[in-house]
Structure 1
Amino acid sequence: MAGEGERYQEFEPPAALKPFVRVIWTYADPDPAPVVQRIAPDGCPELIFDLGAPYEELGDDGDWRLQPSAIFTGQMTRPLALRPAGPTELVAIRFEPDGARDWLGQPLVEATDRRLDVVQRLAGFSAPVGDPEGQVEAFTRWLTDQRRQSEWRIDPLIRAEVEAAAGDAAPSRRSPADQRALQRRFTDRVGVSPRMLRSVFRFRRVFDHAAHPGQPAAESWLGAGLEAGYFDQPQMARDFRRFLGCTATEWAREQQALARAIASQSYKPGADHPA
């Protein structure tokens, strides 16, 4: 859970945005510890606006770089390493896995494992500092205006595949040609393959089943992994390395601030998130 001085809150989107947006969340920490935060994939692209000091991100070349104050983060297939550069405060839109394609205006696969600078897209946008409800109201109003300016849609076939993956239902049987066509549509509107999305959802279910989200004992990790759908501990351990870059025990011991606050919340796809 958030520590002293921190706050993390989730808000349900209005009905007009619900087909596209899973949740709107805010986070603030006036005195963050200067430590690295490991953020794992969760199957959802996000639009994030910083009202405080933006985070620094570790690049593939090993250098730390300050993120833009407004970013679109596409689907992730590997861990993201961040560290605070000062007092943090942000408001974010967590889209449905297939909900951001029309807002972005380009195939989601082009944003996979990338953080896109969208400062110009949010030019003129502002939100009140220290007021989570006001921040959510401002971001909701802005996104609703964005939707009015262009036609957003949900592909029924892709949404059905996303929901099947979220519910861990068996994939539908298709001919090779139909499966290839689905793959193309899926990567366009979601950004990853159906198989990758299922892997991400399974990994996030580990946190749902953990006895103490964020810092379970070793035996709780194993039990949570089995409940999430893993066959055994080595299989789950591989995904911890794949999606977080560390072991479950290392993550539980080291992570705090934003990473732990997010992990303390529900990752259940399609779950309700009351304010």
Structure 2
Amino acid sequence: MTYDTFQPHPDLASLVKCYWTLEVPPAADSQRQRIVPDGCIEMIFTLGDDIKRYTSADEFIIQPRAMILGQTIEPFFIEPTGYVNAFAVRFYPYGFTSFVTASLHSLANKETPLELLFGDTPAAELEQKIIPATDAKERIQIVEEFLFTKLKSEITIDNIVKSTVGALLETNGVAPIKSILKDDPSKRRQLERKFLNQVGISPKQMGRVIRLQTALKMLLNRQSDSLTSIAYESEYYDQAHFNKDFREFTGINPKEFLGHENMELSSIFYAD
């Protein structure tokens, strides 16, 4: 399995977190992989064989080969049908709203084909350029040219949304929303509405996802062998609170996370 990340053009760096590529040779006994929420929206191109996404224990769909994966608040399973070769754009939580007119809440917890957001012809032309490109550098140039054409003349991210995301990231997801709003309750409903539109999930959900990611990184980087210590450093109320959130977002307990065969892909994505 080969996973690499690449930095965006400076003029897109406030909106695009990174580009990434993933290659996995075909295997006779390929395992389902559990994908957990990370607070980002991604534009993904499948360049190899199809990828299944399970909608229940036994039922699945084939993911679109050029799609937007919206915000997720629960884990889901994917499974390769053969050779995995993917190229993707990972946007910051509020980054994708600057390229589309759709509410990002409408994209949550599902895959959306590119043509539904950008139109049949532009989406097809982009995919037809991405597929035969020789390497990641060329694909990045192609997708950045596309993003620059779609970038709104004025970036319309509300300051209240951007500052809230910033405060949550700076505090690993634990900044109380009321403190961000400076105890002005009249702004809370406005923030909730703008967050759903420009991020895709609520401020509270985003905070929980960010806090979980902090704990996941500590686990993956083995910064502590004590789950109680990780729960404390991630500012959960107690071990039970940590376990509850962990299971809700990953589907398993913290003790099961490391070395779990279904977590290999997520472990690579979220270790940085």
TM-score range, shorter chain: 0.7 to 0.9
What is the TM-score of this pair, normalised by structure 2? Answer: 0.85
Which of 91, 95, 99 is matched with 2:95 structurally?
99
1:122 paired residue number: 123
1:270 paired residue number: none
Task: Verify: 1:176 aligned to 2:200, yes or no.
Answer: no
Counterparts of 1:259 and 1:157, CA distance in 2? 31
Counterparts of 1:55 and 1:241, CA distance in 2? 25
Give the RMSD, CA atoms, in angstroms.
Answer: 2.3
Letter in 1 for 2:9: P
1:196 paired residue number: 205
Structure 1 residues 129 and 255 mapped into 2: Cα distance closer, same or farther (>3 Å)?
Answer: farther
Q: What is the CA distance between 1:31 and its match in structure 2?
A: 2.3
Task: List per-residue Cα deviations over 1:173-208 (Å, max 9, x = no partner).
Answer: 343322111111111111111111000000000122
Q: What is the CA distance between 1:15 and its match in structure 2?
A: 1.3
Q: Is the 8 A contact 2:97 2:157 kept in 1?
A: no
Task: List per-residue Cα deviations over 1:47-92 (Å, max 9, x = no partner).
Answer: 1111111310011584111111011111111012111111011111
2:251 paired residue number: 245
Counterparts of 1:221 and 1:74, CA distance in 2? 30
**Per the alignment, in what secondary structure is the counterpart of residue 125 of structure 2?**
coil
Letter in 1 for 2:248: R
Q: Structure 2: which 5+ residue stretches go unaligned?
A: none
2:44 paired residue number: 48
Q: Structure 1: which 5+ residue stretches go unaligned?
A: 1-5, 267-275
Structure 1 residues 197 and 217 mapped into 2: Cα distance closer, same or farther (>3 Å)?
Answer: closer
Which of 245, 254, 266 is matched with 1:259 structurally?
266
**Per the alignment, in what secondary structure is the counterpart of residue 123 of structure 2?**
coil
Counterparts of 1:116 and 1:162, CA distance in 2? 24
**Per the alignment, in what secondary structure is the counterpart of residue 34 of structure 1?**
coil
1:159 paired residue number: 162
Counterparts of 2:186 and 2:263, CA distance in 1? 46
Counterparts of 1:40 and 1:157, CA distance in 2? 27
What is the TM-score of this pair, normalised by structure 1? Answer: 0.84
Q: What is the CA distance between 1:170 and its match in structure 2?
A: 3.9
| Greater share of helix | 2
When the two structures are aligned, how many residues end up with a matched partner?
A: 256
Q: Is the 8 A contact 2:20 2:90 kept in 1?
A: yes
Structure 1 residues 257 and 135 mapped into 2: Cα distance closer, same or farther (>3 Å)?
Answer: farther
2:142 paired residue number: 138
**Per the alignment, in what secondary structure is the counterpart of residue 56 of structure 1?**
strand
Counterparts of 1:223 and 1:122, CA distance in 2? 47
2:82 paired residue number: 86
Structure 1 residues 107 and 229 mapped into 2: Cα distance closer, same or farther (>3 Å)?
Answer: same
Task: List per-residue Cα deviations over 1:135-156 (Å, max 9, x = no partner).
Answer: 32332232223227x6543221
Identity of aligned residues (%): 27
Structure 1 residues 250 and 189 mapped into 2: Cα distance closer, same or farther (>3 Å)?
Answer: same
